[in-house]
Amino acid sequence: MAGHLAKNPLLLLQPRRLCTAAASSSAAAGELAPSPAVKEIPRDDDLAEESRNRLVRDTCKLLELRGSWTPKLEAQLRHLLRVLSPPQVRAVLRAQAQTDARAAFEFFRWADRQWRYRHAPEVFDEMLSLLSRTRLHDPARRVMRLMMRRRMRRGTQQFAHLMLSYSRAGKLRSAMRVLQLMQKDGCAPDISICNVAVNVLVFAGRIDKALEFSDRMRRVGVEPDVVTYNCLIKGLCSVRRVVEALEMIGVMLQNGCPPDKITYYTVMGFLCKEKRVAEVRALLGRMRNDAGLFPDQVTYNMLIHVLAKHGHADEALEFLRESEGKRFRVDEVGYSAVVHSFCLNGRMAEAKEIVGEMISKECHPDVVTYSAVVDGFCRVGEIDQARKMMKHMYKNGCKPNIVTHTALLNGLCKAGKTSEAWELLNNSGEEWWTPSDITYSVVMHGFRREGKLKESCDVVAQMLQKGFFPTTVEINLLIHALCKEGKPAEAKDFMEQCQSKGCTINVINFTTVIHGFSRQGDLESALSLLDDLYLSNRHPDVVTYTVVVNALGKKGRLKEATELVKKMLNRGIVPTLVTYRTVIHRYCEKGTVEELLDLLDKMLARQELKSVYNQVIEKLCALGKINEAYSLLSKVLRTASQRDAQTCHILMESFLNRGLAVQSYNVACQMFQRNLIPDIKLCRKVDNQLTSKKQPAAGKLMVKFLERGLLKQEK
């Protein structure tokens, strides 16, 4: 891709292309220069007014029924289309794009094909603008082609929308080729399209290409502006090249492009994340002295929030004090950020002190501030203090919300008092607050951690009655806990109950229950659930098959296991390393090596694994079946790798441990034939055993080492 970028975006900006749109009078130029008689495009507030028009609302209502359209409804829509003005059509497109940009594009296409109707240029612009906020690059390209065929006015703004669509879809090469398309169309690049290109490169992480692009801009007469530099500085900070970002601020001043506050805020934000407060203060001085920009309340608010967000509470408080010293007003939002940061660090004394300071300064803490303190006390296990803070809220006229109550329940659950939390949840109606799905999840996980699985299932049941649905991860955690306690039947019933209530059940949930039945040895239930998984159109994955194959092999039902593996391969599922290990272990355990080799050949045809025969030999050695392992040695020595040498050493050790030095000697000789050097210490053990038994092969291994000059190196 780097080669293409070097060819396209950076070589596209040629000086001969920098002609004005008015200089091209040919029809192929597509009427780039807008006529003075062309009306201005309506502003957003005008479109907001048009969206309340009755014609626009009726059109949107008809479009909502497009799933059950009839010729009569289409005729009504066609009639409305002919009386809609271009701003009203834009309002319809914008209303449709709020829910689905594809629906807006389909209406755009349908309307353009109607008799005696043709989209106005501003409608094309609106459609491109809406598509630029999505990943729908193909519809944007089709709109642009239609504009070219009709020779409608086109400028850099329209091409920028197309470039953004490609960028959001992750098609960087196509996005940068828009520059080439634009220049072929006779449109000269200006600063706006160049800024979009720089931003696209920065967003894709190609900061070096973005810097190179900005240099090329200057060469062809397009001077970078403050927006260009801000994009580049943001990109440099994102890749932690803050020194270059600071140097670029100096370059801006040298080139006569004064940086704005956003320029400095971008670098300050990165420095705050790294807790480099001294450099932040130095940059504040540069901002004041070099650019004449004085820190204001917005500056301090930014510093306070960024520092607090990243857990640097002391530094955030320091800037808050400095802001107050300069008589800037710090509101409850700024104080809340510092309080929340102290609470996350477990420093509740400081957080409580700041809350008291807020009250003394008549800056009344809001529910967000109090909720942060309640959550902080619960994090450090001080539940009584959290309760007192909630009472303090009521005294100060601040009613706790769902977040506050959920924080308290979470603290009770973590303290092992889930039953008390469950009681408070059931009494929520008396306290005039309504639990959310997160509230129920907190209590459900509390019971699960305490091992009270029945109560946890009761929470989920009540959760379903209230119209809340647990996630698949939460369901799986509870299923796994039930299976771990040896209750797979209850886990299955719980899963089916959730499924009947409309919860999303995935393959992982089924696999967990199947694994639970398999661990108990109830293979019939596991196989039955596997069939149910087929019938529900949820295709089992490789983990599901591996679990069942392992259970079948453990029970000695290798024929069924073989058929199941074949079914898995026929369905196009690729075996993993765990699948290979499971099959090898179970078949070697039963000594059915021939069946194992046949099955491995079928598995290798689907997914190659170089070390598969090494694993077979090592497993057979571990199980004491060394003769079967020796018969497979030729399959291992085909590649003659270091991994093969390790396998041969394991086989030699196995023979030696059983006093079979001759067989171990034969393995070493085969290694020498394949230019693999056996371990010399192991070969000495073999030679000593051969000598003690007065075998003819005694001493021959040492001779082979001596011939290769390896024996001296060992000494």
d(CA 564, CA 459): 38
| pLDDT attached to residue 338 | 93
Q: How confident is the model at residue 33, as a pLDDT?
A: 32
User: What is the per-residue burial (b if ≥16 Cβ within 10 Å, else e) of 138-163?
Assistant: ebbbbbbebbeeeebbbbbebbbbbb
The residues, any chain, with a CB within 8 Å of residue 548's CB and separated by 6 or more, are 514, 518, 523, 526, 527, 530, 564
Whether 545 and 573 have beta carbons less than 8 Å apart is answered as yes
Burial 596-627 (b: 16+ CB within 10 A, else e): beebbeebeeebebebbbbbbbbbbbeeebbe
Return the amino acid letter for 51.
Answer: S
Of these ranges, 378-382, 625-629, 661-665, the one predicted with the greatest mean pLDDT is: 378-382
**What is the overall mean pLDDT for the chain?**
84
Angstrom distance (rounded) from CA 70 to CA 67:
9
Collapsed DSSP state (helix, strand, coil) of residue 600? helix
Grade residue 714 by pLDDT with cuts at 50, 70 and 90. Answer: very low
CATH number of 295-399: 1.25.40.10
This prediction has a pTM of 0.68
The amino acid at 199: N
Q: Please write the tens of the pLDDT for every residue from 367-390.
A: 999 999 999 999 999 999 999 999
DSSP state of 311: T
CB contact at 8 A, 197 and 176: yes
What pLDDT digit, counting tens, does each position of 81-90 carry?
Answer: 888 888 999 9
Pairwise CA distance, residues 646 & 404, whole Å: 60
Report the C-alpha gap between 637 and 614 in whole angstroms.
10
Token look-up 């530094």 returns: 315
**Residue corresponding to tokens 């006779």:** 186
Distances from the Cα of 554 to the Cα of 523, 531, 534, 541, 560, angstroms: 11, 20, 24, 20, 12
pLDDT at 571: 81
Of 251 and 707, the one with more pLDDT: 251
Lowest mean pLDDT among 104-108, 324-328, 607-611: 607-611
DSSP annotation of 241 = -
Q: Is 390 left (phi over 0), alpha (psi -120 to 50) or beta?
A: alpha
Question: Stretch 515-525: mean pLDDT, rounded?
Answer: 86
Phi and psi based region of residue 675 (left: phi greater than 0; alpha: psi -120 to 50; beta: remaining): left
| Stretch(es) of the chain classified as CATH 1.25.40.10 | 188-294, 295-399
The pLDDT of residue 287 is above 50: yes
Q: Would you state the pLDDT for residue 630?
A: 85
Mean pLDDT along residues 162-189: 91
**What is the structure's pLDDT at 39?**
37
User: In this structure, what token pair is assigned to residue 570?
Assistant: 């026929």
Q: How far is CA 470 from the centre of its chain?
A: 21
- What does each C-alpha distance from 96 to 56, 106, 113, 447, 626 come to in angstroms? 11, 10, 19, 45, 72
Tokens linked to 673: 């034939």
CB atoms within 10 A of CB 380: 14
Work out the percent of the chain whose per-residue pLDDT is above 90: 31
Residue type, 558: L
* Both structure tokens of 69: 């359209």
Cα separation, 278 vs 315, in Å, equals 10
Structure tokens at 444: 């459900």
Per-residue model confidence (pLDDT) at position 711: 66
Residue type for 709, please?
G
For 550, half-sphere exposure in the C-beta direction (CA atoms, 13 angstrom radius) is 20
Task: Determine the pLDDT at residue 40.
Answer: 41
pLDDT (mean) for 396-403: 88
Residues 220/13, Cβ–Cβ less than 8 Å: yes
Among 297, 280, 232, CA closest to 259: 232
User: Helix (H, G, I), strand (E, B), or coil: what is residue 545?
Assistant: helix
Closest CA to 125 of 87, 79, 77, 73: 87
Q: What would the pLDDT profile of 435-486 be if each residue is shown by its tens digit?
A: 999 999 999 999 999 988 889 888 988 888 888 888 888 888 888 888 888 8
In this structure, what token pair is assigned to residue 187?
Answer: 């449109």
CA distances from 515 to 419, 479, 498 (A): 30, 11, 19
Rounded to whole angstroms, how far apart are CA atoms 487 and 422? 24
CB 92 within 8 A of CB 53: no
- Calculate the alpha carbon distances from 484 to 380, 477, 550, 589 in Å: 30, 10, 18, 26
**pLDDT at position 11 over 60:** no
Q: Is 602 helix (H, G, I), strand (E, B) or coil?
A: helix
Among 25, 3, 16, 34, which Cα is nearest to 189's? 16
Band (306; pLDDT cuts 50, 70, 90) = very high
SS3 content of the chain, % helix, strand, coil (to 5): 70, 0, 30
Return the pLDDT at 36: 32
Instruction: Say if residues 683 and 651 touch (Cβ distance below 8 Å).
Output: no
Q: What is the pLDDT of residue 485?
A: 87
Structure confidence at residue 31 (pLDDT): 31
Q: Which residues of 1-31 are buried (b: 16+ CB within 10 A; e: fewer)?
A: eeeebeebbbebbeeebeeebeebeeeebbb
Tokens, residue 530: 């596997």
- The Cα–Cα gap between 12 and 23 comes to 19
| 160, 196 Cβ separation under 8 angstroms | yes
CA distance 354 to 404: 19
Q: Which two tokens mark 3?
A: 């080669």
Confirm or reject CATH 3.40.630.30 for domain 188-294, answering yes or no: no
Helices (H), 132-241: 137-149, 156-168, 172-184, 191-203, 207-219, 226-238
Instruction: Decide: 197 and 168 in contact? Cβ < 8 Å.
Output: no
Within the chain, how many helices (H) and strands (E) appear? 43, 0
Q: How confident is the model at residue 46, as a pLDDT?
A: 63
- Please state the separation of Cα 322 from the chain's center in Å: 39
- For residue 610, the 8-state DSSP code is T
Distance CA 447, CA 451 (A): 6
Q: What is the average pLDDT across 561-584?
A: 86
* Residue 15 half-sphere exposure toward CB, CA atoms < 13 A: 4
Q: State the residue for tokens 């190179």.
A: 212
Q: Cα–Cα distance between 655 and 690 in angstroms, integer?
A: 12
For residue 699, name the pLDDT band (cuts at 50, 70, 90): confident
